[in-house]
């Protein structure tokens, strides 16, 4: 009963000093954590998400081969895909979708330095809120700190990547083929913003997946500090 009351009290604390008092009261249970330990533990969790998940997205088929983040055509272009497939041009549609994903894979290579900077700037208050937050609290922290910078970094890279991976030529050919089909209305979409937004969504989806694993799967806590810090969360 005392243990339950102790951790209920953690949820009600609002100051760093109060959380530190709780952390200091737990050495007999194997915690013995300082404010810096807690902050470093949360930084390790974020670094692990970046290393384990974001890097996967930069590989060939990192987006295209992952159903959770694969970039499909925007709603307004679904008719393009259907029209092409109806006329036996499914392989062309597939190449167009693959090109979008290749551009995203290329752009995400620019993400790591921005994430590293955001992690370094984390304060103890940030760490406390993350530790006592929901399964996506760390991901939400990164999202709030990096979305604008990532968008500004991704957008020109994706634009250039369209040319580098041949997406511009593929889509020009695809749209021209579609526009030449009978009984269709011509389309001429700019896909750079769409792919940028989808790439960002994919990045945060994968980081959230890793965070959830660390929070809910003890074996995913691969360092002693991660185990100690998230033991506090386990008992909140």
Residue 33 · residue 23 · CB < 8 Å:
yes
Closest by alpha carbon to 153, among 111, 116, 125?
111
* 202-206 mean pLDDT: 95
User: Percent of the chain at pLDDT above 90?
Assistant: 29
pLDDT for 62 equals: 95
Residues 139 and 22: their CA atoms lie apart, in Å, by 25
pLDDT for 115 equals: 92
Hey, what are 179's tokens?
A: 């526009």
Distances (CA, A) of 215 to 38, 75, 92: 14, 35, 42
Confidence label for 59 from pLDDT (cuts 50, 70 and 90): very high
pLDDT for 222 equals: 87
Task: Answer whether residue 23 shows pLDDT above 90.
Answer: no
Task: Answer whether residue 141 shows pLDDT above 90.
Answer: yes
In terms of pLDDT, which residue wins out, 3 or 138? Answer: 138
pLDDT for 187 equals: 59
Cβ atoms within 10 Å of 100's Cβ, excluding its own: 28
Task: Answer whether residue 159 shows pLDDT above 90.
Answer: no
Q: What is the mean pLDDT of the chain?
A: 79
Determine the 3-state secondary structure of 89 from DSSP.
coil
Residue pLDDT, tens place only, 118-134: 999 998 889 888 888 89
Residues contacting residue 119 through CB under 8 Å, at least 6 positions apart: 43, 46, 47, 50, 142
Residues 189 and 28: their CA atoms lie apart, in Å, by 63
Residues 196 and 202: their CA atoms lie apart, in Å, by 10
Confidence label for 205 from pLDDT (cuts 50, 70 and 90): very high
In terms of pLDDT, which residue wins out, 75 or 61? Answer: 61
């Amino acid at each position: 009963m005392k243990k339950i009351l102790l951790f209920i009290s953690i949820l009600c604390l609002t100051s760093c000093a109060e959380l530190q008092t709780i952390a200091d009261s737990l050495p007999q249970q194997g915690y013995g954590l300082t404010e810096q330990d807690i902050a470093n533990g949360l930084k390790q969790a974020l670094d692990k998400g970046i290393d384990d998940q974001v890097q996967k997205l930069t590989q060939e088929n990192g987006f295209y081969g992952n159903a959770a983040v694969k970039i499909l055509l925007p709603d307004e272009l679904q008719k393009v895909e259907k029209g092409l497939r109806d006329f036996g041009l499914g392989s062309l549609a597939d190449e167009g979708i693959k090109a979008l994903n290749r551009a995203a894979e290329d752009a995400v290579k620019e993400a790591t330095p921005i994430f590293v900077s955001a992690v370094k700037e984390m304060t103890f208050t940030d760490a406390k809120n993350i530790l006592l937050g929901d399964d996506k609290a760390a991901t939400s922290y990164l999202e709030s700190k990096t979305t604008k910078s990532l968008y500004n970094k991704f957008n020109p890279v994706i634009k250039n990547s369209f040319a580098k991976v041949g997406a511009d030529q593929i889509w020009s050919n695809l749209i021209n083929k579609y526009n030449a089909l009978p009984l269709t209305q011509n389309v001429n979409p700019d896909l750079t913003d769409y792919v940028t937004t989808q790439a960002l969504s994919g990045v945060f989806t994968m980081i959230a997946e890793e965070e959830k694993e660390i929070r809910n799967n003890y074996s995913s806590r691969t360092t002693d500090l991660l185990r100690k810090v998230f033991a506090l969360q386990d008992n909140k």
